[in-house]
Amino acid sequence: MPQVDTARFLQDLHDLRRIGAFKTGVHRPTYSPDDMESRRWLMQRMEEVGLEASIDGIGNVFGRNKGPGPHLLVGSHIESQNEAGWLDGALGVVAGLALARAGLPVDVCAFADEEGHFEGGFLGSRSIIGELSEEEIDRSRSRNDGTPLRDALRAAGLAGLPRMQIDPARYKGFFEMHIEQGTQLEGAGLQVGVVTGIVAIWQWRLSVTGQQDHAGGTTMAERRDAGLAAVRLLAAIDREFPRVCGERSTWTTGRILLEPGAPSIIPGKAEVLFQFRDVSMEKLQEMEAALRMLVRESNRRERSHTELVGISKATPALCDPAMMRALGGAAEALAPGAWQEMPSGAGHDAQYLAKRMPAAMLFTPSIGGISHHWAEDTKEEDLALCVRVLAEGAERYLAGSN
C-alpha cells in the first residue's frame, strides 16, 4: 500500500486555491494571468516531486516521470469556470502530484481548457491525443468575449511552442480523480465513486415553423402556433422517453425561444435545445429513434412543422474493467461499504484519453452537488480518503493484482 502524504496533498490544494481566489472558490479562466500563474506553480511542484516539467503550445502542463515503466498517466485540468470552485479539475492534477510524491511511476498532466472557455472544448486532451488541428485553433474564439484563441495563446506566451502528443505505448492506463458534481454519493452516504463510464451527450435543435399572427384576431382553429407545437412535442418526449431510456439516462431541454416572443403575438417560430445522455450506445440510439418518431408524429398532426437538427453526437467512453476492479478493491479495503460504481454524467478529459489507452475515473462526493459555483466543496476527509484509494488502486493495477 503506497504511503500518500495526505497532509501535503491537502496543503497543495489550498496553496493552489490562493491563485485567482474568488470568495471560497477561484476565477481562473484559461490562459488568463491567474491561470498561467497556476500552470507555473504546477511546473514547480512537478519538479519538486522529481518530474521533468514542461508546457506545450496549447497550454498543457506535463510532468514526466524519469524512471522506468510501466507508467501511468494521471491528471485533469487546472483552469476553472468563471467564479467557480476550487476543486473542479485541480483535484485530479494535485492527486497526480501526490501519487508521484508517493513514488508511483506516474506522469502528471493538466490538460488545457477542459472547461471550454474557447470554442471546440477539451482543447488540451484532444491536442495531446492528436485530435486538434491547427485550423481548428485558427478558428476558435473565446465564448466569453470572442477573443481569438491564437491571440490568447500569444498573450500567454505560448505562441510558437510545439504541441506535445502522448505515446500510448508508454502507459498502462490513465487515471483521473474528480469531484462528482452531483449528489449521488452524498445522498447515499458514500465517500468514493468508481466510475463505469463517461456518458455521451447527443445534442439536438428542434426548429419549429408556424405562422406569426395576432393573438386576438386569429382563431384557435386557424392559427399555426409554433410555440404550442413545441410545447406539445416536449410534453410527448416527457411521456415517451421513460419507455426507452436506460436506468441512468438523462434528457434535458435547456432552452426554449419563441419568436417574436411578445405577449399578444402568436409565435411564428420556436427553437428548442434538447439533449440526452447515456453510457450505452444502444440506449442512445433508442432515444434517438424515439425522438425521431415523436417529431415525425408531430409533423403529421400539427399545423406547424418541426425540423430536427443534430448538433453533436459524442461517443460514450467506458472505463477499463481491470482499472475499475483495482479501484474497487482499493475502495473496499480503505472504505469498506462506503463506495459504489456509477457513471459520470458530465464530460471529462478522461473520455478523450480513453480513445488511446485504458482509462478510469474516481469520484469524490460533492457537498450539496454544487459545482460550477464558488461554493463548490468536498470534505477534507473524503479528499484524503480518495487520494489514498487512487494510489492503492493505481498500485494494484500496475501489479496486475485485482
- The residue with cell 478493491 is 329
Closest CA to 314 of 358, 287, 356, 278: 278
Q: Tell me if 238 contacts a copy of itself by CB under 8 A.
A: yes
Q: Is 261 in the site for a copy of itself (CB under 8 A)?
A: yes
Contact flag: residue 234 with a copy of itself (CB under 8 A): yes
Min dist. Cβ of residue 63 to a copy of itself (A): 29
Closer residue to a copy of itself in complex, CB, 235/293: 235
Interacting residue with a copy of itself among 64, 150, 232, 325 (CB under 8 A): 232
Which listed range, 11-19, 159-167, 224-232, 302-310, lies at the site for a copy of itself (CB under 8 A)?
224-232
**Alpha carbons 51 and 105: distance in angstroms, whole number:** 10
Helix/strand/coil percentages in the chain, nearest 5: 35, 25, 40
> Does 345 help bind a copy of itself (rule: CB under 8 A)?
yes
Cell of 81: 469556470
Are 226 and 305 a contacting pair, CB within 8 Å?
no
Which stretch in 39-47, 50-58, 128-136, 270-278 sits in contact with a copy of itself by CB under 8 A? 270-278
Q: Does 201 bind a copy of itself (CB under 8 A)?
A: yes
Q: What's the min distance (Å) between Cβ of 238 and a copy of itself? A: 6
Distance from C-alpha of 238 to C-alpha of 263, rounded to nearest angstrom:
26
In terms of Cα–Cα distance, which of 252, 383, 393 is closest to 324?
393
Please report how close the Cβ of residue 354 comes to a copy of itself at its closest, in angstroms: 16
Q: DSSP readout, 20-89?
A: TEETTEE---TTSHHHHHHHHHHHHHHHHTT-EEEE-TT--EEEE--S-S-EEEEEE-----TTB-SSTT
187 is a contact residue toward a copy of itself (CB under 8 A): yes
Could you tell me which stretch among 56-64, 107-115, 121-129, 226-234 binds a copy of itself (CB under 8 A)? 226-234
Q: Is 344 in the site for a copy of itself (CB under 8 A)?
A: yes
- Using CB under 8 A as the binding rule, whether residue 183 contacts a copy of itself is answered as yes
Strands 25-26 and 21-22: antiparallel
Give the shortest CB-21-to-a copy of itself separation in angstroms: 23
Window of 154-162, 232-240, 322-330, 332-340 that interacts with a copy of itself by CB under 8 A: 232-240
Q: Nearest 5°: CA angle at 117, between 163 and 361?
A: 75
| Window of 95-103, 106-114, 369-377, 378-386 that interacts with a copy of itself by CB under 8 A | 369-377
Task: Check binding of 7 to a copy of itself (CB under 8 A).
Answer: no
User: Nearest to residue 364, comparing CAs of 46, 76, 103, 26?
Assistant: 76
Q: Report the alpha-carbon distance of residue 19 to residue 36 in Å, rounded.
A: 10
Annotation-wise, does 373 bind a ligand?
no
Closest distance between a copy of itself and the C-beta of residue 227, in Å? 6
CA-CA distances (angstroms) from residue 183 to 191, 218, 266, 380, 382? 11, 48, 41, 17, 14
Determine if residue 77 is labeled as part of a ligand binding site. Answer: yes
Sort strands 250-259 and 317-318 into parallel, antiparallel or unpaired: unpaired
CB contact at 8 A, 298 and 236: yes
Instruction: Return the number of the residue (150 or 205) whose C-beta is nearest a copy of itself.
Output: 205
Burial grade of 125 (CB within 10 A; 0-12, 13-18, 19 or more):
buried
Q: Is 313 in the site for a copy of itself (CB under 8 A)?
A: no
Which residues sit at the interface with a copy of itself, rule CB under 8 A? Answer: 180-184, 187, 199, 201, 203, 213-220, 222, 225, 227-228, 231-232, 234-235, 238, 245, 248-258, 261-267, 273, 275, 277, 344-347, 369, 371-372
Binding site feature residues for Zn(2+): 77, 88, 115, 178, 372
